[in-house]
Structure 1
């Protein structure tokens, strides 16, 4: 990042790096202090020749390793002021429910690249057979028809396609590539890939780690269908957008308010809560859920409400206002694109990665999240996870674990085992009315990918590597993480034992009264400055109806009262002196 100039210098230019969906491609972009997030998103879409830009966004990771989507309605510099260098990742933010309703093939190609990343990093969960089929589509798109003279031995082993890429699944991919993919062009194989991927239940889901009221590790996903929860490889609940009445959060607790129309004449309300690792992670989940719900359910962006949540006695909470078009507006915009179909430059990226491509750090997961403070539920269901008994490709219980994008895909050569509980875990969710949650949705079989409780599982970004020195800011104090380097944690400090048992006592009056007096005094000083000075800067405030009313009803009478008191006291003093 360039050196920060003066705040008054509106012409200061800042640099940022944008990682594209192909790891081998980056963009160097410039922006100014007044540019908002929408400017940068549109700039990247112009560089990629994308017109249907509403489905995409830029993601970044702050100094505390918490992921965020760049807000298009806020200035860029305020969102990334602590980042050095400034790094973004161009990603699909809203996965289209039907990719074939997109108007341009180049937009579908970007969605294909995103789903290919999701499959590689374990977010697109499916059976091993489905994974082999998707992998065969990717191989056909990358290599073309099978050529026995060129494609010898295990030619798939050189490609990074799946997270758990074992030799057996590679053999299945090669078999499908050699027998079923012949004659398919890259365009047709990508179409078949999209047609298959968009039918999976985990399509468009980025798992967020949460815990239920019993402390069980769960994963929460949000897409166009609603909010889904997973335990192991089993989808336990599906809260559809039509049933979600309200979404809010309190501290680390993400809360969903649901209305079930079980009886045509009555509606039953439920409150389900999940605990996130940190308050920042909870705000991120809440914001993602609000954006997804509004994008896929609102008839018009003009009807988007202003949402406030997370407030408490000592905080104002988080205010969110949706910006941009919603899906219905995009689909109803049937006007011509008025341009020829742009050319798509397809490049093989499975066997190479640019070493100079910087990346963003991952989101850590706390090891112990505690459990929910909401009332517990008596509802439970059998969510037992069947583990794999062997490595047969047709075995529906083959464990396939997801990891973050920042990790090298080493799982295909490691003999890792997935610990499972001996008892059927309690399904996620807590409710105010015990036993009223719907039965878990068992539409997914035990042949799906398994979520892994790891430090980086929910992150789709990677550790900072090889950042250019020209992107640094001399004012930024944020340390830059390098690949493979971890910041050392300070040793825990022993808790001092108080010698006086009263030292832990807390008096609300000792805190409240001084704070109240200081606040009241500050307000009085501000009012006097505004009403008694002639500064033009404060002229608009003085002419406000509220200030005029305050002056006439309260300020002037009080001023005359003290003035009369002071005058009478001065006159009495003078009389006493003269006497």
Structure 2
């Protein structure tokens, strides 16, 4: 919001690599610029309309990859990098690649070529040959016997494991292609084959399961998948995933699904990452992909907290548009364009304008191709009455609680006297069953949000009907701005035994909060120790859960050995 004088003069330079490593762009930014500034600048230079599908990736000093946060300062995220080097990549692979237009579709095609070249787009030999033949068709054109001689395909890097057998099959398929085709047709055919593969849009993250076996976790528009030796072993759809979290190096997914007998089941899976930073990166990628493909709009996104009680917590807030927002805007643009064309035709034919009915082809456009999900409700994104966490920031004080004014204008002394009398009479009738309550409500701990000062509007309206009253009047103390001869003053200064009004003690949130925190901490620690030390079969499933295993071997066991060692030394 406020910038120093030096910030306006400092200019940083960075290099952005495009999908072809030989193509780079030099960009400049200032300390107050956020990540969205750099992405919008690049998409403007490359004439990319669908910028929400793209992102900027960088590698920190510890060789850990990150996506540039669009809502945070660029230099604060990359202050340890020298030189500043970013890579423009496709971040969200659409379920239907043909939704992208113009240069955005070309960039997606180049990204998939790069994935095939680096082994991320894993496929069979026949599929790799078909994709390779389309790349050759797009780069070299139609097959020509005079030009394409020998192993001409070997000059092009097509796949990670480009063997002679693969090159021969590519040449055979290239010869069979119909000559004279447009290059864009080969590109579209490539996108059609690639989107049907299990590894479409997958960036593999190396992990280990509970047996210690090496696996890879991949995330795309359909959900979270695990791969063993290049083949998908497990797949969890977004509508089956209830919660995603991490604890230390452990990436944890909580599942809620219906089995064959149509009974609701809950299951928890965990994967161990090489480092804690890699685990946080995997968690953030999963959260971003889930929100982009499942939320109806970005305003429904709450602040999501990751990390358990014994690890460094991380908070994430999604920024940018979701896929459904993009599709809705495109549909509305098509409707508006078609309505404008219809109105221009009516004016040209001098026919009186009539209310246009919904267009049939546009009315049938729905989100059927998107993965259906109910993630917004179990994760606690919504609030009653249509309010969303993190959305209605401008909540007025009138809706936030009862306003108690301690100052009144002196020119309305008569009105004040009558209003105080009515307020005291109402207070005398309600004082037996009403107590002062602190109007602070906390939301779910999972979302990490707090809504302050929310109270029922009906109580506020009732209090205003009986006039304004000050806190001093409420607690039975005299107000200096009220005449002492009034009935209200005589009532307040009466003997406590005669008026039978209890003097309430002011509630302090800190006095109740601190003991509660200590009590809950000791109770949780005692329960965890009891479960881990107990040999009862009733706790067997709980002891073998990923969270308890992580807690046991990373924190409890070393601490126990340390304490026993210290006690042994002191006993000697």
Secondary structure (helix, strand or coil) at the match of 1:148 reads: coil
Give the 3 Å change call, closer, same or farther, for CA 49–265 of structure 1 in structure 2. same
Question: Contact between 1:220 and 1:227, CA under 8 Å: does it hold in 2?
Answer: yes
Q: Matched residues in 1 for 2:31 and 2:322: separation?
A: 28
Give the 3 Å change call, closer, same or farther, for CA 73–140 of structure 1 in structure 2. same
Instruction: Give 1:517's aligned residue.
Output: none
* Structure 2: runs of 5 or more not aligned: 338-530, 533-539, 546-561
The match for 1:144 among 138, 141, 148 is 141
Instruction: Give 1:44's aligned residue.
Output: 42
Instruction: Give 1:326's aligned residue.
Output: 322
Give the 3 Å change call, closer, same or farther, for CA 181–131 of structure 1 in structure 2. farther
Q: Matched residues in 2 for 1:223 and 1:157: separation?
A: 31
Map residues 276-355 of structure 1 onto 2, 5 A cutoff.
276-313=273-310, 315=312, 317-334=313-330, 335-336=332-333
Deviation at 1:243, TM superposition (A): 0.1
Deviation at 1:10, TM superposition (A): 3.4
Give the 3 Å change call, closer, same or farther, for CA 158–434 of structure 1 in structure 2. same
Instruction: Give 1:66's aligned residue.
Output: 64
Question: Contact between 1:18 and 1:89, CA under 8 Å: does it hold in 2?
Answer: yes
Map residues 170-569 of structure 1 onto 2, 5 A cutoff.
170-262=167-259, 266-313=263-310, 315=312, 317-334=313-330, 335-336=332-333, 505=566
The match for 2:125 among 119, 125, 128 is 128
Deviation at 1:301, TM superposition (A): 0.7
Verify: 1:56 aligned to 2:54, yes or no: yes
Secondary structure (helix, strand or coil) at the match of 2:258 reads: strand
Deviation at 1:183, TM superposition (A): 2.2
Q: Matched residues in 2 for 1:198 and 1:69: separation?
A: 23
Deviation at 1:276, TM superposition (A): 0.2
Structure whose residues are more often helix by fraction: 2
Q: Normalization by structure 2: what TM-score?
A: 0.58
Give the 3 Å change call, closer, same or farther, for CA 502–275 of structure 1 in structure 2. closer
Instruction: Give 1:19's aligned residue.
Output: 17
Deviation at 1:9, TM superposition (A): 3.1
Secondary structure (helix, strand or coil) at the match of 2:12 reads: strand
The RMSD of aligned alpha carbons is 2.9
Question: Contact between 1:140 and 1:181, CA under 8 Å: does it hold in 2?
Answer: no
Q: Matched residues in 1 for 2:234 and 2:48: separation?
A: 36
Deviation at 1:167, TM superposition (A): 0.9
1:334-377 CA-partner distances (Å, limit 9, x unpaired): 254999xxxxxxxxxxxxxxxxxxxxxxxxxxxxxxxxxx99xx
Question: Contact between 2:247 and 2:310, CA under 8 Å: does it hold in 1?
Answer: no
The match for 2:81 among 69, 80, 83 is 83
Secondary structure (helix, strand or coil) at the match of 2:193 reads: helix
Instruction: Give 1:119's aligned residue.
Output: 116
The match for 1:9 among 7, 10, 13 is 7
Q: Normalization by structure 1: what TM-score?
A: 0.57
Verify: 1:93 aligned to 2:154, yes or no: no
1:412-440 CA-partner distances (Å, limit 9, x unpaired): xxxxxxxxxxxxxxxxxx986999xxxxx
Give the 3 Å change call, closer, same or farther, for CA 282–172 of structure 1 in structure 2. same
Deviation at 1:181, TM superposition (A): 4.6
Secondary structure (helix, strand or coil) at the match of 1:255 reads: strand
Q: Matched residues in 2 for 1:250 and 1:433: separation?
A: 16
Deviation at 1:105, TM superposition (A): 2.7
Secondary structure (helix, strand or coil) at the match of 1:196 reads: helix
Q: Matched residues in 2 for 1:297 and 1:249: separation?
A: 21
1:64-117 CA-partner distances (Å, limit 9, x unpaired): 000000000000001000000000000000001001122x23211110000000
Deviation at 1:312, TM superposition (A): 2.7
Q: RCO higher in 1 or 2 (8 Å CA, sep ≥ 6)?
A: 1
Q: Which has the larger radius of gyration?
A: 2
Instruction: Give 1:378's aligned residue.
Output: none
Question: Contact between 1:118 and 1:124, CA under 8 Å: does it hold in 2?
Answer: yes
